[in-house]
Amino acid sequence: MFEKEVYIKRRSELKRALGRGVAVFFGNHEVAINYPSNTYRFRQDSSFLYYFGIDRPGLVGVIDVDKDNDFVFGDDIDDEDVIWMGDIGTIYDEALKSGLCCIKPLSEMYGYFRDVIKSKREVMFLPQYRFKNMIVIEEVLGIKPQTVNGYASLKLIRAVAEQRLKKSEEEIEQIKKAINISKGMYEIAFDKVREGITESQLLAECEAYAIENGVWLSFPTILTKRGDILHNTRHDGVLNRGDLVVMDSGVETELHYASDITRTIPVGNMSRLQKDIYDIVDSAQRSAIAKAKEGVRFLDVHLESARVIAEGMKGLGFFRGSIDGIVESGAYAVVYLHGVGHPLGLDVHDLEGLGEDYVGYSDSIKRSNKFGLRYLRFAKQLKEGYVMTVEPGIYFISALIEKWHNHQRFSDFVDYDALKGMIGFGGIRLEDDVLIKREGAEVLSKDVRRF
Ligand code: GLY
Ligand code: MN
Ligand code: MN
């Protein structure tokens, strides 16, 4: 945990932003894989971690703004559990480290919320993504699980997002720590990649480094020569000379701050065509990073990367017509369909669980329905202290090329015959993590090896 002052300050700021009511944060529970005592690795909810820092299952955190009182509901493990789990200490000890003065048994939670509701005070909670907590909410607030997220508090979402998006120095240190372990993983990936090695062997070498360093992954590693499958988590390929390996991976520190980095690594030398396309992605990423700073809309950072990709791909004969036309129409998305990046922090896609449209968009900037922009996770103005990924890519996706060709989509701009010749090429993505500042963006992952 951070120093207790960090959590006290975070909760005070939230109370100031909310003004009144009661904010409740439902911590996570153990989740069974195939029978109750065989569980997935426990991962605490990120907002719970942010305000309370206590990394154990079965807790509910309360920030009672009206009474200026913060506490946690939870039960210590019993004597029998100690046999299996060891002496993990008391919740109270951890609560003290979080600057809380008291904990309450879970049995008191129902009465507490009954009283809050009776006194007509507002109870605010965030959108839920685990069924167990939806059931807890039904028990304490009487809201049906299927409708829980319709009752999530917009005011709380906005306040939490605003706070969590802006990273403090100690949070940036954590992200740098995660990036530094990623750096070691990518050194191994570049050193060990060779003809004949399987994707899973290379993966094992890289992930071993994370485990040796006492951390775990922030999401399942993508390591594949099929870079055209964007979130391909299979590792059953054998690497051959001439393949391009897309490795998109991250780790999270003990305090659960993440890194998220992508490198494209050739097996042997790159061909001329591979290098040409690689260079376009590289330029798109550099131009996008150069544009990113406080006050700039992330949408414009995305469009900058799209412009460079449109120009480069036009230069290679895949697009035709005006660059403005290719970008404005969204034709570029036939090869670059995802957004340029997302916030990074306690979640890899930071705050995504609160709703991208609330976190990454605003009243003045609404999500576009255009194919290339639909997947842009964050579009609004950047502020100093945000940590964002910048991760453009070029992909030759057979199903997409075929579909667009059949519908003659943007055929003024796209040379489908040329694109069809690229099916089987795979994809190229480069991803770095940047800290937004007033005058520009600092690349936190600049020391991570790249081709
Ligand atoms: N790791 C998925 C992403 O880069 O967003
Ligand atoms: Mn990634
Ligand atoms: Mn990412």
CATH number for the domain including 365?
A: 3.90.230.10
Q: Are residues 61 and 120 in the same domain?
A: yes
Ligand 1 pocket check for 350: Cβ under 6 Å: no
Residue 448 lies in a domain: no
Domain residues for the domain of 294 are: 169-443
Query: Tell me: the pLDDT tens digits for 49-84?
Result: 999 999 999 999 999 999 999 999 999 988 888 888
Local structure of 201: helix, strand or coil = helix
The pLDDT assigned to 80 comes to: 85
Would you say the pTM of this structure is higher than 0.95? yes
Arithmetic mean of pLDDT, 18-25: 98
Distance in Å, CA 390 to ligand 2 centroid: 9
Residue 451 lies in a domain: no
Sequence-ordered list of residues with C-beta below 8 angstroms from that of 294, at least 6 positions apart, any chain? 381, 382, 383, 384, 436, 437, 438, 439
From 165, 192, 211, the end of a domain falls on 165
Structure-token match 């509901």, residue found: 73
Mean confidence (pLDDT) of the chain: 97
The pLDDT assigned to 83 comes to: 85
Question: Angle, to 10 degrees, between the axis of helix 4-18 and the axis of helix 154-165?
Answer: 140
Q: Exposed, middle or buried: residue 102 (CB in 10 Å: 0-12, 13-18, 19+)? A: exposed
- Whether the pLDDT of residue 100 is over 90: the answer is yes
The pLDDT assigned to 372 comes to: 87
Structure tokens at 46: 């990120």
The pLDDT assigned to 87 comes to: 86
pLDDT bin (cut points 50, 70, 90) of residue 384 is very high
Nearest-ligand number for the alpha carbon of 263 = 2
- The overall longest dimension of the chain from CA atoms, in Å, is 73
Cα separation values, 99 from 4, 10, 62, 65, Å: 5, 11, 13, 16
Long-range contacts formed by 132-141: CB under 8 A, 24+ apart? 132/29, 132/31, 133/26, 133/28, 133/29, 136/26, 136/60, 137/26, 139/110, 140/109, 140/110, 140/113, 141/113, 141/117
Ligand 1 pocket check for 248: Cβ under 6 Å: yes
The pLDDT assigned to 33 comes to: 97
Query: Tell me: the pLDDT tens digits for 126-168?
Result: 999 999 999 999 999 999 999 999 999 999 999 999 999 999 9
Ligand 1 pocket check for 433: Cβ under 6 Å: no
Q: b/e string for 355-364 if b means 16 or more Cβ within 10 A? A: bbebbbbeee
Cβ < 5 A residues, ion ligand 2: 248, 260, 431
Q: Are residues 37 and 142 in the same domain?
A: yes
Distance in Å, CA 260 to ligand 1 centroid: 7
Determine what percent of the chain is predicted with pLDDT higher than 70: 100
Arithmetic mean of pLDDT, 313-318: 98
